[in-house]
Amino acid sequence: MIGSHPQETPRRRSPLQRSTTDASGLGAPCWASLATRSLASSQEFYGAVLGWTFRGTDLGDEFSVALYDGVPTAGLAELSDVLHIANDWTPYFAVPDADVAAARIRERMGTLAVGPIDFPIGRAAVAADRDGARFGVWQGRLVADWQAWREHRPWWLDLTTPKPFEAALFYGEILDWASERPGFCEVGYEHDDVVLRDDGRVAALIRAGAEDGLTFPGCGPRWNVHFPVRDVEVALKTAVRHGGLVLERRISAHEDGATLRDPGGAVFCVTSATGPPPVQGDDEWP
């Protein structure tokens, strides 16, 4: 069953380690963060394209929080030259214990890139699944007013991978999807997609794709973060004017969207939709 796992050896806990502050939504996407070589340049680009404003954090001058209509939406972090991490977006999933999640990633042949490491408000790790898609796990304080943020997510996710069912098993065993434990997410196969539901709402989709190993030139299997905008065409023109590149344009009955690469190389999506396209059996979007 997705969510089952072998017996794990207890790990020593850091004195700074904190439990996740809300037992609901465990295993669900809880944050997205951009790794960038220039915080100032990224703020200028995303502020123009997505209409974000920014505020500082207590983590130092290398970090900022993006706000959309006043709602905390994502984090931006300027990388040191000594850290060999690609400029890109990373979605984070809430877990009760980052060390246990990291051990499960290693046991299931994933790659642990960073951590787990301590922050003043929690503990995190960045990893890649067996097909190379990057993601993070987060244990600690969640965004303020988590329940409202969770209900009206400021972005949504999909994973494009050549083996969606195997990917669902991999993530399910790490994040306790479909474990039937209180507060954890449910996952099912619906209308050719693997659908992750948090409190009954679609939180992420896992879709077949990248059969040749690439979703776009230079991009293999990946988690795509979809940020809503008021006018997709305006966003695309603004992105190009500020040094971005449009990789794909999508227009359907449910969404007007596109995939872009920012000037630093990070890939992200813009969309007219406020949530994933409806899956079979849904009467409305989450």
pLDDT for the residue numbered 144: 81
Pairing mode, if any, of strands 71-78 and 29-36? parallel
pLDDT for the residue numbered 15: 35
Alpha helix segments (H runs only) across 120-200: 146-151, 164-175
Tokens of 280: 């079979």
pLDDT for the residue numbered 133: 92
195 with 279: CB under 8 angstroms? yes
Q: What are phi and psi of 28, to 5 degrees?
A: -95, 155
pLDDT for the residue numbered 186: 83
Give SS3 for 211.
Answer: coil
Provide CB contacts within 8 A for 248, sequence distance 6+: 216, 258, 259
Q: What is the pTM of this model?
A: 0.85
- Burial state string for 206-235 with b = 16 or more CB within 10 A and e = fewer than 16: bbebbeeeebeeebbbbbbbbbbbeebeeb
pLDDT for the residue numbered 14: 36
pLDDT for the residue numbered 199: 80
Please classify residue 274 by burial: count the beta carbons closer than 10 Å to its beta carbon, then call 0-12 exposed, 13-18 middle and 19+ buried. Answer: middle
pLDDT for the residue numbered 10: 37
> Which run of H or E residues covers position 237?
helix 232-241
Tokens of 245: 């590149």
78 with 85: CB under 8 angstroms? no
pLDDT for the residue numbered 17: 39
Tell me the residue length of the chain. 286
pLDDT for the residue numbered 44: 96
Those residues of the chain that have pLDDT short of 70 are 1-23, 80-86, 210-219, 274-286
| Amino acid letter for position 179 | S
| Amino acid letter for position 273 | A
Alpha helix segments (H runs only) across 26-159: 39-50, 98-107, 146-151
**Bridge partners of 74?**
66
Closest Cα to residue 211, out of 203, 202, 220?
220
